[in-house]
Amino acid sequence: MQKRLPSLSLSSYGMGWPANRRIAVIALVVGALIAIAATVAHLSGGEGSHQTGAGAAPTPVHSPSSAASPGPAAGSGSVPGPPQIADPVAYATAAAQMLWSYDTRDTSRDQQLAGMRAWMTTETTYADWASVSGQVPDPVLWSRMTDQDQHATAHVTEGHYPSAFKQALAEDPSAITEAYIYVVTANGTQQIAWKKGGSGAEERSVTLAVQCRPNHDCTLAAIAPSVTQ
């Protein structure tokens, strides 16, 4: 039985939000939201419903628009470009699918990073590129994956606002109007394959910070160091 190779995994390669980014988001977005003890992170655990979009989720303060996700941008290999949508949950689920998908057969590590960077907010106060780029294996591991033609596709089953985020917004609805950053958790599966018919599937979960300013398309701000349901 062929031994499984390391995969591009959020759980394995994730990096925590730097302290200055955490402090900025805590102060400007939802100061009461977070309490991860060891890291002073701002995503507290909580039992959240796994509903998508409307219903139990807070309503965005802007009108969503819909557009299909564009194809890969030049110089980004197989990494798709960001969709032009203004709904936080929809954008976060698309971002999760992008993060869990890769193809070392036609995409270099630099191209993977370039493609992921296109999803990021350009507001440096809120952009935590380290937490996103940290999802990509180091050059040596990427080279090993390339040697085995390793590639992955993803299926996102649902996305939702964590209960702690909804509670914080309910307590202080105006808190979000400084940075317009929404916290969204996405769940799904990742299907990995490599040479000689090797394959495997894993469940995936990730909590993202998505910026959706009024009358603008959403962008990715950061990936949380821990998943909050």
Question: Mean pLDDT across the chain, nearest whole number?
Answer: 76
Beta strands in 134-198 (DSSP E): 151-160, 181-193
Among residues 48, 2, 5, 10, the alpha carbon closest in space to that of 190 is found at 10
Span 83-102, pLDDT tens digits: 999 999 999 999 999 999 99
Specify whether the CB–CB gap between 164 and 171 falls below 8 A.
no
Q: Helix or strand or coil: residue 36?
A: strand
pLDDT given for residue 44 in this prediction: 29
Q: Is the pLDDT of residue 36 over 90?
A: no
Whether pTM > 0.85 for this model: the answer is no
The backbone torsions φ and ψ at residue 203, rounded to the nearest 5 degrees and listed phi first, read: -75, 145
Tokens of 152: 């992955």
* Residue 75: pLDDT band with limits 50, 70, 90: low
Could you give the percent of the chain with pLDDT greater than 90? 57
Supply the pLDDT for residue 120.
97
Residue 209 Cα to chain centre, angstroms: 7
